[in-house]
Amino acid sequence: MEIRDVPESWRVVASETPFRGKKTAVNTDDVVMPDGSVARRDYQVHPGSVCVLALDEEGRVLVLRQYRHPVRHKLWELPAGLLDVPGENPLHAAQRELYEEAHVKAGDWRVLVDLYATPGGSDEAIRVFLARDLAEADGERFAVAEEEADMEFARVPLPDLVRGVLSGELHNVGLVAGVLALAADPGLTALRPAEAPWPARPYES
């Protein structure tokens, strides 16, 4: 058996959208099960996200702490943001988020890991990039508001973040996945190019 995820879509006999918000929505689908029964599934419809693990020349990762209301926590996270435009190139979105949130640019970009955040309840797909060769971005800092106005920043050695993840002290899914993926491949031998295909969120180069 080949161990890899494969696309598959079971028949939907009814679908509605009982809630539509500014960026996301909730769908209710009636899905035909393998035994012929029909089950109702509610899930969040999400445009997708990008995260950036920005690694400096000293092996430190740029992280930020931000309040997340649904979980009532301030979480340490990687710079991240939504794919605001359908079909948007995720690399361009990641570069934008690194600039807007941290006022940093990077000379070297790779795909670190792709994941579905909570596939039992959302179709959100996340691509985590590795960014290296960091420098301060040109121009003025991006104006922040709401939760972002309260953000804190730090540069943390990768092993410290790994310990924080494994000890249950760090919980953000993009940070957890990115940190562990980088720790698993310190020589960067398995990483894909920055514009590698992403079937979960197809885009134009």
Q: What confidence tens digit (pLDDT) does each residue in 46-72 have?
A: 999 999 999 999 999 999 999 999 999
Q: What confidence tens digit (pLDDT) does each residue in 69-120 have?
A: 999 999 999 999 999 888 889 999 999 999 999 999 999 999 999 999 999 9
What confidence score (pLDDT) does residue 85 get?
Answer: 84
Tell me the average pLDDT of the chain: 94
**What are the domain boundaries of the chain?**
12-45, 49-193
Structural tokens at position 33: 């099960």
pTM of the model: 0.93
Q: Evaluate if residue 205 carries a pLDDT over 80.
A: no
What confidence score (pLDDT) does residue 65 get?
Answer: 97
Looking at CATH, the fold of the domain delimited by 49-193 is given as: Nucleoside Triphosphate Pyrophosphohydrolase (3.90.79)
How large is the average pLDDT for residues 154-182? 98
Distance in angstroms (rounded) separating the CA atoms of residues 24 and 48: 10
Q: What confidence tens digit (pLDDT) does each residue in 6-20 have?
A: 999 999 999 999 999
Q: Where are the beta strands (DSSP E) in 9-150?
A: 12-20, 25-32, 38-45, 49-54, 60-68, 73-77, 80-82, 104-116, 125-136
**Considering 57, 100, 140, 148, which one is annotated as catalytic?**
148
Q: Identify the band that residue 178 occupies on the pLDDT scale cut at 50, 70 and 90.
A: very high
How large is the average pLDDT for residues 140-166? 84
What confidence score (pLDDT) does residue 150 get?
Answer: 80
Contacts of 146 (CB under 8 A, 6+ apart): none
Q: Is 88 a catalytic residue?
A: no
